[in-house]
């Protein structure tokens, strides 16, 4: 059967999604099966409706839409056709087939495909790439400008104006709609283009078997039937059936949400309906190899992979609105409702007062239009997009609009240590063998007494370095270390510096088997041929675990028992190296007969020695930690190093005082997770943590209500990067998997850019609130002015044209100018913004009501003064109009800062865009008042006295508001 249609219907609210499921409607059996099949891990509540054919799912924040969609698809497939759910011949149950049968089904062999076969299959299947979720077209963006409630209210107003004969009013309303639509379209089209331009252009590389030999090929060129090598810390490029595995494990959190690595094997999984999490002989695109090694045959590429199928379900979905956009949409709806109530009240007062019905209706329509800030929907998109463009110029790539908001709310920043806080440029600096200590200076080993050590005469040091170079995956290029991890490259370089011929040593001792380190085994084991026909088994890794495997030591060429005193000396040296911020590896070896299972765990190894390596911290790292501390952000370092090494590095970074009291080891993690703590009391370092535990920690912090950023660079950082509220990856040294999944990418690996990004995020959040305060207060002032005037018996305090002009002039440009304010000097000295707080708090609504009343009251008094001096009704109307516009534009200056008064600090940071917007608005108002062509629309010209009254009435609210603010800020109890 074909895959049942599971289509996301509504996914805008985090942790909540509604889906349409084909076959559910009017089928109670399917309803029960879906609710039962989807319940469980990470799902808080499920409700399927046979009446509507939809399923509503509430899920934990750590689980994303991809995972929920995949699980619902599987549940629907089983519910609709339990007997033949996997019988589709186009998608065989590869996991239920023998490995050789799979090879035959995909027309492949254990020597791999030929180059000619690959070319033919590429033509047939296409490249191994999942098409990105389609962005909106320009036409869709344009239409979206007119699909909101405020614009609908404007359109209704235009229709009513036409119906009542107000063609001019209708033309102005349509002009308002057109201007807002144009501004919104330009802003959102630029935002869409900015987001689209951030897609990665670098193609990842995979290790494949072609024409009988291993080679690196672009992952996009993989085809079904290709044999791929699976290696630790690599991203799996396609869905594949495992045909050989050596202690292979994979993290499948991207598909299943489970952080625990899954053991993989080549044996058959008998159950054809096995869920993805139970297909232990399959690996899937987007998941990560966490341990061991293996080989697999590709069964699906690109859109046909499990990840591709899920993304195809989401491709029709618009990008979810950001939390701020949702808040603004909700606020806009509330304002429309409030506007309708206010207009109804104004109309009722007018009827009671006996105002003319037709003129009253026109005024009500105009008031309804003027009272709603149509610029709200445009405001968030424009401001966030401009922030993305600004940060890109600083080497910071932001992929999602909502990530800018998220940066403002970060409470905790989790940093992977190696390669993120450090340079991942390892070098051997100290060695310890047979009771001797030495430093590597340049290309020479020197003892603590500065005596040179020659490996030609000290065979035990030579043996230690040779073993480290053999138990090593670095590829040699000529006579130097080539590709490999920074740690293993450093070991080979040390051996070469000592004069060892690593290539010849590897030729004498070819490797026969490998046991890669894993989350539950912190060492690597290799098996080599020995010259006497036996096997040489080498272990390299965590000093404590390697020492526990040893019973013997090599002393002056003789193997002797490893006594308690020897163990104590080794442990003391390990601690001394670790406290010097060195990563310490232990080396041991033993002999084995060829028939023995050499990779089995035994405790009869011969101790060889310790090697200490330095990894310099990034120059900007301590400054970053301090900047975050001042900003109220808790920084946490995650490392696989032992506790003493972690403590020394943390002290160097300024995370801790070096005592080790603020450090939690992996074996203590469960106790920490069970004890809720506020961000300020969290441990600053987690040592000896495995990749899966990073994800576990991030999810735990999120469940405690904290906004978490994860900063990493490696493949094993991808699960926590994806789960975090903000995933941040290094662009230059970071792997493709981390860059591809992160919300934020530091192009030049400059950690000093992170505080800049956080500051911009906070500034954006603050500025949007400034703009919203301005819009709410000024629109509310118009409503108050009209209601008070009507209550006082003034039939026409403002004409419909004047109301519409105020709406056109004072809504969009001043608000956008405020949204582009530079960051306040104390932005990074404040605590993070609560991501759950409303856009405008109840206390702020009270302040806005006061400000709106001052603006409306000043304009009302100006009209009264004009009447007292004998002005006509029309001239009084013009005075009120001019006063209200002036007061609203002047009020924008008061909105530039809520923590400072311009009376005390008149020199706020320059904002040319704001000044340009206000200057343009004042110029347009002057033209409306004084140019002959406009005077017929906006009333008679103002005399000198009336003009002075209008200016005074415009400036008075600003002075009053700033005087109140200055008094509040200078009180002894004030926070500033």
Residue positions annotated with a catalytic role: 416
Residues 6+ apart with CB under 8 A from 591: 530, 534, 535, 536, 537
Q: In whole angstroms, what is the distance from residue 238 CA to residue 302 CA?
A: 7
Yes or no: say if 469 and 492 are a contact pair by the CB < 8 Å rule.
Answer: yes
User: Cβ-count burial of 7 within 10 angstroms (0-12 exposed, 13-18 middle, 19+ buried)?
Assistant: middle
Alpha helices in 96-216, H assignment, sequence order: 99-105, 115-125, 138-144, 149-163, 167-196
Q: Which two tokens stand for residue 614?
A: 């330095």
The β-bridge relationship of strands 663-665 and 685-687 is parallel
In which residue are the tokens 């534009």 written?
889
417 burial via Cβ count (<10 Å: 0-12, 13-18, 19+): buried
Give the residue among 858, 785, 844, 774 at the shortest CA–CA distance from 810. 774
Q: With left for phi above 0 and alpha for psi between -120 and 50, is residue 850 left, alpha or beta?
A: alpha
Sequence-separated (6 or more) residues with CB below 8 Å from residue 505? 466, 469, 470
Task: Say how far apart CA 14 and CA 320 lie, in whole Å.
Answer: 9
From residue 492, give the alpha-carbon distance in Å to each of 444, 477, 480, 545, 888: 14, 11, 8, 22, 71
Q: Position of tokens 């044999």?
A: 227
Task: Return the C-alpha torsion angle 483, 488, 492, 494, nearest 10.
Answer: 130
**CA–CA separation, 173 and 368 (whole Å):** 11
Pairing of strands 396-398, 605-614: unpaired
| Burial of 595: CB neighbours in 10 Å, binned 0-12, 13-18, 19+ | exposed
CA 613 vs CA 278, 373, 582, 616, 697: distances in Å? 40, 61, 5, 10, 28
Distance of alpha carbon 718 from alpha carbon 420, whole angstroms: 13
Q: Alpha-carbon torsion 184, 186, 192, 194, what sign?
A: negative
The answer to whether the Cα torsion of 630, 631, 632, 636 is positive or negative is: negative
The first and second tokens of residue 202, run together, are 């670098």
Pair of tokens at residue 80: 């609709």
**327: helix, strand or coil:** helix
Residue indicated by tokens 């491709």: 315
| Intra-chain end-to-end CA distance of the chain, in Å | 68
Q: What is the DSSP letter of 264?
A: -
CB 495 within 8 A of CB 489: no
DSSP tag of 617: B
Place of tokens 């709406």: 807
CB 646 within 8 A of CB 639: yes
Beta bridge partners of 48: 55
Contacts of 41 (CB under 8 A, 6+ apart): 257, 258
CB atoms within 10 A of CB 597: 10
Structure tokens at 407: 């940066």
Q: From 43, 861, 720, 674, select the one nearest 415 (Cα to Cα).
A: 720
**CB-facing half-sphere around the CA of 285: CA atoms within 13 A:** 26
User: What is the phi-psi region of residue 946: left when phi exceeds 0, alpha when psi lies from -120 to 50, beta otherwise?
Assistant: alpha
Cα 428 from Cα 298, distance rounded (Å):
40
């Amino acid at each position: 059967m074909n895959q049942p249609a599971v289509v996301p219907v509504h996914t805008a609210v985090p942790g909540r999604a509604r889906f349409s499921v084909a076959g559910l409607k009017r089928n109670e059996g399917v309803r029960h099966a879906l609710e039962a099949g989807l319940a469980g891990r990470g799902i808080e509540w499920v409700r399927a409706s046979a009446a509507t054919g939809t399923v509503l799912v509430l899920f934990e924040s750590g689980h994303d839409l991809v995972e929920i969609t995949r699980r619902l698809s599987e549940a629907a497939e089983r519910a609709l056709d339990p007997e033949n759910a996997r019988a589709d011949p186009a998608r065989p149950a590869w996991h239920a087939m023998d490995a050789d049968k799979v090879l035959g089904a995909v027309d492949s062999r254990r020597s791999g495909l030929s180059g000619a076969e690959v070319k033919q299959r590429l033509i047939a299947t296409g490249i191994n790439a999942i098409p990105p979720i389609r962005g909106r077209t320009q036409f869709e963006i344009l239409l979206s400008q007119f699909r909101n409630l405020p614009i609908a209210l404007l359109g209704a107003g235009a229709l009513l104006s036409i119906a009542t004969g107000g063609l001019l009013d209708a033309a102005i309303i349509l002009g308002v709609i057109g201007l807002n639509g144009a501004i919104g379209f330009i802003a959102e089209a630029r935002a869409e283009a900015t987001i689209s331009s951030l897609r990665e252009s670098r193609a990842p590389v995979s290790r494949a078997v072609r024409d009988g030999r291993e080679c690196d090929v672009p992952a996009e060129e993989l085809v079904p039937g290709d044999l791929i090598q699976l290696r630790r810390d690599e991203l799996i490029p396609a869905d594949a059936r495992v045909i050989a595995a050596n202690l292979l494990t994979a993290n499948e959190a991207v598909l299943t949400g489970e952080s625990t690595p899954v053991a993989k094997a080549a044996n058959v999984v008998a159950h054809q309906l096995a869920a993805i999490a139970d297909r232990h002989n399959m690996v899937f695109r987007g998941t990560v190899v966490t341990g061991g090694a293996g080989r697999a045959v590709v069964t699906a590429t690109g859109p046909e992979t499990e990840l591709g199928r899920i993304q195809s379900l989401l491709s029709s979905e618009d990008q979810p609105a950001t939390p701020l956009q949702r808040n603004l949409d909700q606020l806009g709806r509330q304002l429309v409702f409030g506007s309708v109530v206010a207009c109804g009240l104004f109309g009722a007062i007018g009827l009671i007062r006996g105002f003319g019905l037709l003129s009253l209706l026109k005024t009500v329509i105009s008031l309804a239009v003027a009272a709603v800030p149509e610029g709200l929907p445009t405001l968030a998109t424009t401001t966030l997009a401009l922030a993305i463009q600004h940060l890109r110029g600083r080497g910071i790539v932001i992929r999602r609009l909502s990530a800018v908001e998220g940066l403002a709310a970060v409470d905790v920043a989790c940093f992977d240590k190696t390669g993120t806080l450090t340079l991942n440029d390892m070098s051997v600096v100290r060695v310890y063998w047979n009771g001797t200590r030495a430093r590597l200076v340049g290309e020479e080993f020197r003892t603590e007494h500065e005596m040179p050590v020659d490996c030609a005469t000290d065979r035990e040091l030579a043996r230690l370095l040779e073993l480290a170079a053999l138990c090593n995956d670095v590829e040699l290029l000529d006579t130097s270390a080539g590709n490999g991890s920074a740690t293993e490259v450093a070991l080979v370089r040390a051996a070469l510096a000592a004069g060892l011929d690593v290539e010849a040593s590897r030729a004498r001792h070819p490797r026969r088997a490998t046991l890669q380190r894993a989350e539950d085994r912190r060492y690597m084991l290799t098996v080599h041929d020995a010259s006497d026909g036996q096997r040489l088994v080498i272990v390299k890794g965590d000093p404590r675990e390697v020492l526990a495997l040893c019973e013997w030591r090599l002393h002056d060429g003789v193997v002797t028992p490893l006594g308690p005193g020897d163990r104590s000396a080794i442990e003391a040296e390990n601690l001394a190296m670790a406290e010097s911020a060195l990563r310490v590896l232990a080396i041991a070896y033993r002999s084995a007969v060829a028939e023995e299972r050499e990779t089995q765990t035994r405790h009869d190894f011969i101790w060889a020695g310790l090697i200490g390596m330095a990894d310099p911290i990034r120059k900007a790292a301590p400054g970053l930690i301090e900047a975050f501390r001042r900003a109220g952000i808790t920084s946490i370092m995650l490392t696989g190093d032992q506790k003493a090494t972690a403590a020394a590095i943390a002290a160097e970074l300024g995370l801790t005082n070096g005592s080790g009291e603020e450090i939690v080891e992996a074996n203590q993690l469960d106790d920490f997770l069970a004890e809720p703590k506020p961000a300020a009391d969290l441990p600053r370092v987690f040592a000896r943590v495995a990749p899966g535990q990073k994800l576990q920690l991030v999810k735990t912090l999120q469940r405690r209500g904290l906004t978490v950023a994860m900063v990493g660079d490696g493949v094993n950082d991808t699960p926590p990067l994806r789960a975090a509220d903000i995933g941040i990856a290094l662009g230059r040294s970071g792997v493709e998997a981390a860059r591809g999944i992160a919300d934020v990418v530091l192009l030049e690996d400059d950690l000093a850019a992170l505080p800049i990004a956080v500051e911009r995020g906070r500034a954006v959040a603050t500025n949007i609130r400034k703009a919203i305060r301005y819009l709410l207060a000024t629109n509310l002032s118009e409503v108050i002015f009209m209601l008070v005037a009507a209550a006082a018996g003034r039939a026409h305090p403002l004409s419909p044209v004047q109301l519409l002009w105020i709406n056109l002039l004072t809504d969009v440009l001043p608000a956008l100018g405020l949204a582009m304010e530079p960051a306040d000097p104390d932005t990074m000295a404040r605590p993070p913004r609560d991501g759950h707080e409303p856009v405008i708090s109840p206390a702020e609504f009270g302040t806005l009501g006061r400000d709106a009343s001052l603006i409306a009251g000043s304009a009302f008094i100006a009209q009264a003064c004009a009447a007292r001096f004998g002005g006509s009704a029309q001239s009084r109307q013009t005075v009120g109009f001019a006063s209200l516009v002036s007061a609203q534009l002047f009020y924008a200056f008061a909105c530039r800062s809520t923590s400072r008064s311009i009376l005390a600090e008149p020199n706020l940071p320059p904002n040319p865009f704001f000044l340009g917007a206000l200057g343009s608005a004042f110029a347009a108002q002057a033209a409306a008042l004084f140019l002959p062509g406009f005077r017929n629309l906006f009333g008679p010209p103002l005399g000198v006295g009336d003009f002075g009254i209008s200016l005074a009435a415009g400036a008075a609210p600003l002075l009053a508001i700033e005087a109140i603010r200055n008094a509040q800020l200078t009180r002894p109890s004030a926070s500033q």
